[in-house]
């Protein structure tokens, strides 16, 4: 779930709990034997018969396709680097503008843990953990213990997509500017003055991106990231791309499958973004999904879902009128309170923290629990520094989507969205107008193209209680990929993402990746 100011995200926050912290590419000693041979060739998009016409890009020069990545020991955020560290870092040059492939380049940062069983190695597996804007270089080492079985035969490879972190990461405002905006801008404006401030802040954010990152801003969209994936695949020496995408990473995976169906290898899409939804459609889906998750939480604690939702909505209205104090001296605003409520809904394991934070706010009149949850989600550390995922997230989203709803259009959505969710609906309705307000770069499409006739089978996993990417989106992705390509696997349960949460889904994914066993379309776990 995303919102103005990057308050509500998808994907990466799930896996990192907002604790993204400096991996960097701090190389120590080179290891010349730890390189992959690149193979020259044409990686331009070549749609198969039946695909919608997609703008073609010129062939890439051999200077790019024949790169030999120089892997070096590097610092991993999960505990640092020591002699004998398993993690290696490098970068791959990609065209800044694929329409000018022999022109300026940028470097995409990668991190790798090699397969343990060298004799049975299947190749590289690339991961995208969502956002958009999540740093795979930082997240993969933190999450790698979940993929130990896959690491037996695959090199695990994380990367920072273009415009993210170490790959020419977009930067739009200072920590002080971010803190000031989160304190002062009402994300559900009630007056003309609040509306004006809301829209001005969106425009100011975009202007800051243009000032600080104007060179890359037009080129950070998902289709270019997918082209980068194919170049990385070639440079790593793989005939087919093995890929594991979560949340926004499923949109990237679907886009890749459309552009390069002939290069699709074993691919899993988990916690799937609805490819048929435009910006308002995504907001509508998320209002539905997060309300569904909130009601499941309320039922679990023995409370009537409708009454509990209305109670929380009344609490938010009180906080809007009078923010709650915290021990740090900062105030818990309505916007931060909603973020704090959203955070633990991503996983059922977070529900006890939500109970404690809500009880504190309602019974003690203090906001420490909710503001701590909001800070972790917003990427704010104890020293008041913010990560830049929200900057990259917004830049990528606005480069993708043509939609630029107005204030009047957002206001007209309020009755419908309040009915969908009295807690989250107003924020998501207003967000449609604030997110890309006066954005300095045009968007590419209304909705992404993910049809992929001719591609190999792609495993699509939807969780029935997923709050951020509701289950229905996975069904639509499977349909859009095409018959025989999109293989639907249903996980009956809660949370954003199914792999590693239950034996049934995990076994199905492992069997597919390691042994090529494709589950029957329509299989249900749980």
Catalytic residues: 247, 466, 496
Order of strands, sheet of 123-128, starting from the edge strand that comes earlier in the sequence:
72-73, 87-95, 105-113, 154-159, 123-128, 241-247, 264-272, 458-465, 486-494, 523-525
Q: Are 469 and 272 within 8 A, CB to CB?
A: yes
Q: Report the SS3 class of residue 326.
A: coil
Q: Which of 361, 424, 427 is nearest to 186 (CA)?
A: 427
| Residue 67 falls in which region: left (phi positive, over 0), alpha (psi -120 to 50) or beta | beta
Between β-strands 331-332 and 324-325, what pairing exists: parallel, antiparallel or unpaired? antiparallel
Residue 241 and residue 234: Cα distance in Å, rounded?
9
3-state DSSP: the chain helix, strand, coil percent, rounded to 5? 45, 15, 40
Residues in the chain: 526
Burial grade of 516 (CB within 10 A; 0-12, 13-18, 19 or more) = exposed
Beta strand segments in 193-348, E: 241-247, 264-272, 324-325, 331-332
């Amino acid at each position: 779930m995303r919102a103005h100011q990057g308050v509500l995200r998808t994907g990466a926050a799930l896996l990192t709990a907002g604790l993204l912290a400096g991996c960097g590419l701090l190389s120590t000693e080179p290891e010349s034997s730890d390189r992959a041979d690149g193979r020259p060739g044409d990686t331009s998009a070549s749609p198969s018969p039946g695909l919608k016409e997609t703008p073609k890009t010129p062939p890439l020069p051999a200077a790019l396709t024949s790169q030999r990545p120089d892997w070096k020991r590097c610092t991993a955020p999960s505990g640092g680097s020591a002699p004998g560290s398993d993690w290696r870092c490098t970068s791959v040059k990609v065209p800044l503008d694929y329409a000018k492939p022999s022109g300026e380049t940028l470097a995409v940062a990668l991190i790798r843990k090699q397969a343990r069983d060298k004799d049975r190695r299947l190749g590289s597996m690339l991961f995208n953990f969502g956002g958009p804007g999540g740093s795979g270089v930082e997240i993969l080492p933190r999450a790698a213990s979940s993929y130990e079985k896959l690491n037996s035969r695959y090199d695990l490879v994380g990367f920072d997509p273009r415009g993210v972190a170490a790959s020419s990461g977009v930067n739009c405002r200072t920590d002080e500017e971010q803190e000031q905006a989160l304190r002062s801008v009402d994300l559900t404006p009630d007056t003309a003055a609040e509306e004006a401030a809301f829209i001005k802040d969106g425009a100011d954010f975009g202007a800051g991106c243009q000032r600080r990152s104007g060179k890359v801003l037009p080129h950070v969209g998902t289709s270019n990231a997918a082209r980068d994936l194919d170049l990385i695949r070639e440079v790593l020496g793989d005939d087919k791309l093995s890929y594991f995408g979560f949340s926004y990473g499923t949109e990237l995976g679907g886009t890749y499958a459309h552009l390069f169906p002939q290069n699709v290898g074993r691919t899993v899409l988990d916690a799937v973004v609805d490819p048929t939804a435009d910006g308002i459609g995504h907001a509508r889906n998320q209002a539905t999904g997060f309300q569904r998750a909130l009601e499941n939480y309320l039922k679990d604690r023995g409370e009537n879902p409708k009454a509990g939702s209305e109670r929380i909505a009344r609490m938010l209205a009180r906080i809007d009128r009078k923010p709650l104090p915290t021990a740090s001296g900062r105030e818990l605003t309505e916007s931060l309170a909603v973020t704090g409520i959203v955070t633990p809904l991503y996983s059922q394991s977070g529900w006890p923290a939500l109970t404690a934070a809500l009880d504190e706010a309602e019974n003690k009149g203090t906001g420490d629990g909710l503001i701590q949850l909001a800070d972790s989600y917003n990427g704010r550390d104890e020293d008041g520094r913010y990560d830049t995922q929200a900057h990259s997230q917004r830049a990528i989203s606005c480069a993708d989507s043509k939609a630029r709803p107005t204030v009047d259009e957002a206001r007209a959505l309020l009755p419908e969205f309040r009915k969908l969710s009295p807690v989250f609906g107003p924020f998501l309705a207003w967000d449609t107008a604030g997110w890309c307000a006066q954005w300095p770069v045009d968007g590419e499409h209304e909705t992404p193209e993910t049809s992929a006739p001719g591609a190999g089978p792609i495993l699509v996993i939807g969780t029935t209680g997923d709050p951020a990417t509701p289950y229905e989106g996975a069904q639509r992705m499977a349909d859009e990929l095409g018959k025989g390509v999109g293989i639907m696997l249903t996980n009956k349960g809660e949370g954003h993402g199914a792999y590693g949460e239950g034996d049934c889904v995990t076994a199905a994914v492992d069997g597919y990746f390691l042994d090529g066993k494709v589950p029957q379309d329509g299989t249900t776990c749980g």
